[in-house]
Chains A and B, each alone.
Chain A
Amino acid sequence: MIRLILPTHLWRLANTDREIEIEVADPATIEATLDALEARYPMLRGTIRDHVTKERRAYVRFFACGEDWSHEPQDMLLPEAVVKGEQPVRIVGAMAGG
């Protein structure tokens, strides 16, 4: 299980909790995690990454274990602590304005 923390707009859109757990098949990557998230919550398609290109939206960032994973290859293995469920992946709306 991968723990995911969603930004307010998206957990409200998905009608779920701020933190959710997602079953992700090995190997556990950002791409596999997002695939599993969108399969379970189809209303989130297009809100984190492009429908077609799967490119991350410009104002969305991914954090895990205190590191910024936004610019890492999407097929890179997530840290062990995330795979074990000790640490969540945070999907974050970038600071912009305000």
Chain B
Amino acid sequence: MSGVRVLVGTHKGAFILTSSNRNGSWDVSGPHFAGWEIYHIKGSPLNPDRLYASQSSDWFGQVIHRSDDGGVTWAPVGNQFTYDGNPGTHQFYDGTQHPWEFKRVWYLEPSLTEPETVYAGVEDAALFRSSDGGESWQELPGLRSVKGHLWQPGAGGMCLHTILQDPADPERLYIAISAAGAFRSDDRGQTWRAINNGLHSDYELPDAAAEVGHCVHNIAMHPSRPDVLFMQKHWDVLRSDNAGESWREVSGNLPSDFGFPIAVHAHEPETIYVVPIKSDSEHFPPDGKLRVYRSRTGGGEWEALTKGLPQRDCYVNVLRSAMAVDTLDPCGVYFGTTGGQVYASANSGDSWTKIVQDLPKVLSVEVQALP
């Protein structure tokens, strides 16, 4: 089919929303994997019908499913995520050391170049890679050697939640961890270094400019300019123009610079989106108004996008993996809320339509433009 396919992970199952024109009716398929927490579903850029889904449960652990027909049918693949060697300990909430324990897969990133390769970001934070379509997983342990003993969990756990691949350099990967920070590898994940210069966490860390420990919520890039990165941190929106070597704050006139997701327009590398949340202890929009903020200047100057979004009595949140853009023209922007709504804009955010409203809490949103 042509059109768009929106992959929605929720607290109680997965849903697949499809539309031929983005402005008409949406077909809702699901719940898939009913009752499981679906932290992420993502399609391969090389084959849009190849999808991976992460299911987890406090009772029954981690399961991974793969589909080769766009989510019509699914088959379980490998679910053994065993750390390489003794993973040791990391910092716990109170600063004491705590053993590294696998809990779940937060993020799945199919390779840009290798059809059977997919990366998985997990809690407790580590990066795994599969070269056989998810049948088996191997850790890339070099990441944990970057002062892993000083990493600590954020409120959601010590999760590796963001994986970015450099389209211009298949050796380069970026990842982000709450609460450790951002990291870069220039050798396909074998060795890593922290890229947190310029981050300041005045309220969270004894050394506000520490090399690691920052609660990075999300990172985004435009594929045409992979050295330019945008970050939503616990507090602060930042950008880097040198592949993460240094960051500068671009929160500008946002009503709050706390938030979770950040996204880049598909065709305008300086147009970015965030959803400000009131504070770290009040995870809802300021003034009860759900507003996406758009900057057309790569940060600094922001405009509120409100048309079609609730502007009173709204107290939902938008989680870090719950916003995505499509590659159509004009660019479509999508996000899901903790209240179970999924909103879509077919005009770069100028106006929004609620395409489904009563799902379980939305954990992740990805979108595919189908040929």
Residues A51 and B80 in contact, CB atoms below 8 Å apart: yes
Interface residues of B in 59-100 (CB under 8 A from A): 59-63, 76, 79-80, 82
**From A97, which residue of chain B is reached at the shortest CB distance?**
B58
Interface residues of B in 242-266 (CB under 8 A from A): none
**Partner among B58, B59, B62 whose Cβ is within 8 Å of the Cβ of A46:** B62
Residues of chain B within 8 A of A60, CB atoms compared: 59-60
Q: State whether the Cβ of B230 lies closer than 8 Å to any Cβ in chain A.
A: no
Least distance between B346 CB and chain A CB atoms (Å): 36
Query: Can you list, as one digit per residue, whether each of A25-52 has a CB less than 8 Å from chain B (1) or not (0)?
Result: 0000000000000000001011110011
Residues B63 and A13 in contact, CB atoms below 8 Å apart: yes
Residues B80 and A93 in contact, CB atoms below 8 Å apart: no
**Partner among A8, A48, A51, A94 whose Cβ is within 8 Å of the Cβ of B35:** A8
Q: How far is B348's CA from A88's CA once the two chains are assembled, in angstroms?
A: 58
Q: State whether the Cβ of A10 lies closer than 8 Å to any Cβ in chain B.
A: yes
**Partner among A7, A8, A46 whose Cβ is within 8 Å of the Cβ of B61:** A46
Known: A8-B35, A9-B35, A9-B36. A59 touches B80 (CB 8 A): no
Known: A8-B35, A13-B76, A43-B76. A52 touches B60 (CB 8 A): no
Least distance between B238 CB and chain A CB atoms (Å): 37
Q: How far is B62's CA from A93's CA once the two chains are assembled, in angstroms?
A: 15
Q: How far is B63's CA from A54's CA once the two chains are assembled, in angstroms?
A: 17
Residues A59 and B79 in contact, CB atoms below 8 Å apart: no
Residues B63 and A57 in contact, CB atoms below 8 Å apart: no
Least distance between A47 CB and chain B CB atoms (Å): 4
Residues of chain A within 8 A of B58, CB atoms compared: 59, 96
Q: State whether the Cβ of B57 lies closer than 8 Å to any Cβ in chain A.
A: yes
**Partner among B60, B76, B79, B82 whose Cβ is within 8 Å of the Cβ of A48:** B60
B-side interface residues, number (CB < 8 Å):
14
Residues of chain A within 8 A of B36, CB atoms compared: 9
Residues of chain B within 8 A of A52, CB atoms compared: 82
**Partner among A8, A47, A94 whose Cβ is within 8 Å of the Cβ of B63:** A47
Q: How far is B76's CA from A59's CA once the two chains are assembled, in angstroms?
A: 22
Q: How far is B62's CA from A13's CA once the two chains are assembled, in angstroms?
A: 12
Least distance between A82 CB and chain B CB atoms (Å): 23
Residues of chain B within 8 A of A43, CB atoms compared: 63, 76, 79
Residues of chain A within 8 A of B61, CB atoms compared: 46-47, 57
Least distance between A3 CB and chain B CB atoms (Å): 20
Q: How far is B204's CA from A74's CA once the two chains are assembled, in angstroms?
A: 45
Residues A57 and B82 in contact, CB atoms below 8 Å apart: no
Residues of chain B within 8 A of A8, CB atoms compared: 35
**From B62, which residue of chain A is reached at the shortest CB distance?**
A46
Interface residues of B in 35-61 (CB under 8 A from A): 35-36, 57-61
Which of A45, A46, A57, A94 gathers the greatest number of chain B CB atoms within 10 Å?
A46
Query: Can you list, as one digit per residue, whether each of A57-97 has a CB less than 8 Å from chain B (1) or not (0)?
Result: 10110000000000000000000000000000000011010
Residues of chain B within 8 A of A51, CB atoms compared: 80, 82
Q: How far is B82's CA from A10's CA once the two chains are assembled, in angstroms?
A: 22
Query: Can you list, as one digit per residue, whether each of A4-23 has a CB less than 8 Å from chain B (1) or not (0)?
Result: 00011110110000000000
Least distance between A80 CB and chain B CB atoms (Å): 30
Residues of chain B within 8 A of A94, CB atoms compared: 59
**From A12, which residue of chain B is reached at the shortest CB distance?**
B34
Least distance between B53 CB and chain A CB atoms (Å): 12
Residues of chain A within 8 A of B79, CB atoms compared: 43, 45-47
Residues of chain A within 8 A of B57, CB atoms compared: 9
Residues B82 and A59 in contact, CB atoms below 8 Å apart: no
Least distance between B256 CB and chain A CB atoms (Å): 31
Residues of chain B within 8 A of A7, CB atoms compared: 59-60
Q: How far is B60's CA from A9's CA once the two chains are assembled, in angstroms?
A: 8
Least distance between A48 CB and chain B CB atoms (Å): 7
Q: How far is B32's CA from A22's CA once the two chains are assembled, in angstroms?
A: 28
Q: How far is B62's CA from A48's CA once the two chains are assembled, in angstroms?
A: 11
A-B contact pairs, 6 of them (CB 8 A): A9-B35, A9-B36, A51-B80, A60-B60, A93-B59, A94-B59
By Cβ-Cβ distance, the 8 closest A-B pairs, closest first, are A43-B76, A47-B60, A59-B59, A93-B59, A51-B80, A46-B79, A47-B61, A9-B60
Known: A13-B60, A45-B79, A59-B60. 12 other contacts (CB 8 A): A9-B36, A9-B57, A10-B60, A12-B34, A46-B80, A51-B80, A51-B82, A57-B60, A59-B58, A93-B60, A94-B59, A96-B59
